[in-house]
Amino acid sequence: MRFYTKQHRHYCGIDLHARSMYVCILDQAGEVLVHRNVKACPEAFLEIVAPYREDLVVAVECIFTWYWLADLCAEEKIAFVLGHALYMGAIHGGKAKNDKIDSLKIATLLRGGTIPQAYVYPAGMRATRDLLRRRLHFVRKRGQLLAHIQNTNHQYNLPGFEKRIAYPANRDGVVEHFGDEAVRKSIALDVALVDHYDDLIQELELYLVRKAKIEEPQGFHSCAPSRVWARCWP
């Protein structure tokens, strides 16, 4: 785990939410200069840090709302640190917890050189990474549907399927494999959703392959037409 240890004149810890953020700014001696809640927008952030812009570093916890603040700090040439949410929780965990306390703790960890860092992913590649994560979500949902079909088959102690139903060509007769009408209806829904996920995932993978070949041609590797392997997208 990497820690941010560089010294600054001012340390800003922000407990960031979608519509608001609690800002705490400390000086080198640890004195609280600012500690208040403001709207989560560029104008409010720049206004509150304006008197302390000289040698300022800003830290937030790695949650889903940090993109805009990281980009703003890069544009304004303000040092930005993304705190690793899991390790930060282990370090500063306590019974008392609210936005005001959390912002102070983030600023204190930053000042003390003990804030664990998460990687600030490059702005130009974030959307593709998020799309890859979305693909993984769809793949997992598809897998759950296939598992439900298999579990239902075991539940009624029916003979196993002759071929792997993960492949579209092997799903013919899967619904008719079950005798009860209500069970067939349930399995039919699973099969329909799996078929739809197959189409979505295939279309998404083709897009990602093109994207990876363009943005990181040296790091792209593929092992099968139906799968995407791109080392450049962790």
- Boundary residue ending a domain (65, 94, 116): 116
Asked if residue 52 and residue 85 are part of one domain, the reply reads yes
Asked if residue 146 and residue 103 are part of one domain, the reply reads no
Q: What is the pLDDT of residue 232?
A: 36
Neighbouring CB atoms inside 10 A of 93's CB total 9
CATH of the domain at 52: 3.30.420.40
Asked if residue 185 and residue 80 are part of one domain, the reply reads no
Structure tokens at 148: 């439900």
Digit-by-digit pLDDT tens for the chain (234 residues) are 899 999 999 999 999 999 999 999 999 999 999 999 999 999 999 999 999 999 999 999 998 899 999 999 999 999 999 999 888 876 666 666 799 999 999 999 999 999 999 999 999 889 989 999 999 999 999 999 999 999 999 999 999 999 999 999 999 999 999 999 999 999 999 999 999 999 999 999 999 988 888 777 776 664 444 444 333 333
Q: What is the pLDDT of residue 89?
A: 78
Domain count, the chain: 2
Q: Containing domain of residue 46, as a range? A: 3-116
Q: What is the pLDDT of residue 90?
A: 67
Task: State whether residue 158 is helix, strand or coil.
Answer: coil
**Is beta strand 229-230 parallel, antiparallel or unpaired with respect to 220-221?**
antiparallel
Asked if residue 109 and residue 128 are part of one domain, the reply reads no
The pTM of the full predicted model, rounded to 2 decimals, is: 0.80
- Boundary residue ending a domain (90, 116, 142): 116
Q: Could you tell me if 101 and 202 are in contact, meaning their C-beta atoms sit under 8 angstroms apart? A: no
